[in-house]
Structures are given as C-alpha cells and as structure tokens.
Amino acid sequence: MHASIRPSKVIVVGGGIFGVSTAVHLARLGIQTTVINHGSLANGASGRSLAWLNSARRRSDAYHRLRMAGIDRYRTLSAKYPGAAWLRFDGGLTWDADDAGNDIAAVFDYERDLGYHAQLLSADQITKAIPGVDLLSVTRQGAILNPGEGWVDLPSLIGVLAEEFQALGGEIVTNAGRATVNVRDGRATGVTTANGVDWSADAVLLAAGGAVPAIVAEAGQHIGDDTPIALLVRTKPIDHPLKAVLNTPRVAIRPTHDGAFALDSAWSEEEVIVNADGSYQIKTSTLEGLLHEASKVLEGNPKLEIGDYGVGPKPIPGDGEPVFGELQAIPGYFVAFSHSGATLGLIAGELLADEIATGKRHPLLGAFRPERFAR
C-alpha cells in the first residue's frame, strides 16, 4: 500500500452502490469526500441489478468469506431499518434443469460442508417453506432452500446512504459526464469531468461499473474484463404470495418493494442486440419470453405485464473475482469493479474506505487486488 498519510480529500467516481457506500464510510471517518457521477445516482448497473443477497453454489473460499461478511452487514442494516420494504430476508430457492448438468445434490453437499444454511427439498416440501411456487415446475432432483438469503432494492439503499452522506457534509455531483482520473508525477491527483472541470484530491476511487477497465487503461493499467450486456425486466405490481428469490433453469425472479417482480436470465442476456452506435435493442420476443418463463414457475401461472426494463453493462472481471483496492503502480488510485455488487456493496465500501483512510490493506481483500492482472 502506497498511501502513508491520511488523505484530506477524496473523489469517488461512480454513483452506484460501491461508490456511494465507500463515500458514506469515508464521510463517517471525517474525510472530505465528493461523489461524481456521469448521470443520476444508481443510473448504471446498480439500477438494473437482480440484487440477490447470497453466497450460493460454488466459488473460491476468499470470495465466499467476503460475501458472507457482506450479508452480515445487511443483517445489521435490517436491524437499523426493521420495517424497510427495500431490504428483505425471505430466503432463496434454487433448482436446476432435469438433464445431465443437474448439480443440485452436489451443490447441497458443498454448501452444507461450508456451514452455509441449506435444505434440500422435494417439490411437495416446498409449499410450506416457500409459498408461491408452481410445484410442477420444480425438477425431480429437488431444490435447495437457503433460508438466510434475501434481496435489496439498490436505488432505495443508495438513496438512504446518499442522504446520510450529504448530512455528514459530503458533496454529490450528478450529470457530470464521463470522468478521467488525472495522474501526475506517478500518482492520482484528482479527476477531470467531461465538461472540462478539474477536481483535485489526495486519492481517487474509481467505481464506475463496466467503464472501470477502459478508464484504468487510460493510465496504462490493465484489469481483465468479461462484462456482458445484461437485461433486467420489472413487471407491473401483482398480488402474489411469493416472497423469496427464485433461481430456476430459465429465469431468476426477485420480488420488489412495490409488489412487482424483477426478472433476468442468461438466455435473455444473450439476445440483447448492440447497435453500431452503442445503443441497445431488445426484441419483443425476448421480453415476452421472460414473462412467460416467470409465469410458469409462479403459483397460479399469473399473467405478468412489463412495467419497465433496464439494459446495459453488467460488471464482471475477467476471472470472475472482484477487483478492489489501490493500483500497485499508481499511488492514490483505487478501484472497485465486481459482479455481486449488491451482496458486496456495504462491506466493500467499508473496507475500501478504511484502506483509503489508513493506508493499510485489509486481509479480506487480499485475494482481489488489481495487480493480479498486471501484464
């Protein structure tokens, strides 16, 4: 870690969960902090995230530990806001397709061995545990119930954090256009926004979602990037008993705070058309297909209608693991680039703020340093 002097001023580029979470933690530490975003807060990946809070299935031990710490922070937050409609822990239910790739039994054993709360349920056991599921859609191998999982509405959470941040004296600059991190004499000295305004700082956190690898490349640094273009569809509100998150072979479903459902899938992501000018095109058949797949797994097979949808980059590093911390080659230049932004949002902000303020690397982030991509 290069920083040995506590910074007096920090610029955070990005108004999503990583940026705003880190900013409010910096403000709590008494550090003057400014958040700069190219549009309104939560207008990027945080605004179109399924936002499932989990550490389900298989991943590295370090990634699992970090995700569990992330869920722990949401538990603390839920105690602070016990009636919040935007943060719920009603469990998650997962099943696989009925084919040779069905991995449910092995995943159950793996999760149980980790001490991750998991129950393997047959279709007829699901009704009491998770109301609202069409039992005929559950494959014969059964489903895993993870009772400790939940979901968060990230725009609502970002709004809560931003309110506290500003009350602590933090500044938020929106609609500033794309920002470039300034590097002088080998260290980060601030940023320049698209309108030509320079913002000086002792340290910079780049938390600009899918744009992070390209912006870092401007300083001659490399972060592996496997970011796809993702689609999240939100239905119109509907009266339905499902409260848990469902992860099924053809669709993932998450309830929303206003009585609707958020939907995504791998196949619909692949059907997004990227036009030559960088805009996106979504086929009607894709939208209708997601609604149809969701209806099939919901009790009563209700008619679902589109409320709205979001499309854009879903940040995923080249090796699938998070990227957090200071660039080894450029003192004062910190990055946050990861999938699982919802699960990691609070813990990443806390640990990054601590590293920026103290200059000490936290061991929970040790496996996720950007220098692993150095060429």
User: Per the domain annotation, does 80 fall within a domain?
Assistant: no
What CA–CA distance (Å, rounded) separates 190 from 97? 49
- CATH number, residue 161: 3.50.50.60
Same domain? For 143 and 232 the reply is yes
232 part of a folded domain: yes
* Other Cβ atoms within 10 Å of 300 Cβ, number: 10
> Dihedral (C-alpha) 318, 320, 326, 329: value to the nearest 10 degrees?
-30
Is residue 77, in this structure, part of any structural domain at all? no
Looking at the domain assignment, is residue 2 inside a domain? no
Whether the model pTM is above 0.85:
yes
Same domain, 207 and 330: yes
**142-175 burial by CB neighbour count: b if 16+ within 10 A, else e?**
bbbbbbbbbbbbbbbbbebbbeebeebebebeee
Are 162 and 300 members of one domain?
Answer: no
Q: According to the model, what pLDDT value does residue 375 have? A: 73
Read off the CATH number of the domain in which 276 is found.
Answer: 3.30.9.10
Q: Which residue, 313, 331, 352, sits at the end of a domain?
A: 313
pLDDT at 195: 87
Please report whether residue 256 resides in a domain.
yes
Given 296, 313, 330, the domain boundary residue is 313
- 351 and 207 in a common domain: yes
pLDDT given for residue 2 in this prediction: 52
- The confidence score (pLDDT) of residue 3 equals 47
The Cα–Cα gap between 314 and 191 comes to 24
Please list the pLDDT of the chain residue by residue as tens digits (375 residues). 454 578 999 999 999 999 999 999 999 999 999 999 999 999 999 999 999 999 999 999 999 999 999 999 999 999 999 999 999 999 999 999 999 999 999 999 999 999 999 999 999 999 999 999 999 999 999 999 999 999 999 999 999 999 999 999 999 999 999 999 999 999 999 999 998 999 999 999 999 999 999 999 999 999 999 999 999 999 999 999 999 999 999 999 999 999 999 999 999 999 999 999 999 999 999 999 999 999 999 999 999 999 999 999 999 999 999 999 999 999 999 999 999 999 999 999 999 999 999 999 999 999 999 999 987
Please choose, from the candidates 232, 352, 373, 363, the residue with its C-alpha nearest in 3D space to the C-alpha of residue 294.
232
Same domain, 266 and 309: yes
Q: Give the count of domains, the chain.
A: 2
**Listed residues 313, 342, 360: the one ending a domain:** 313
Q: Are residues 290 and 256 in the same domain?
A: yes
Residue 203 lies in a domain: yes
Structural domain harbouring 237: 89-149+227-313
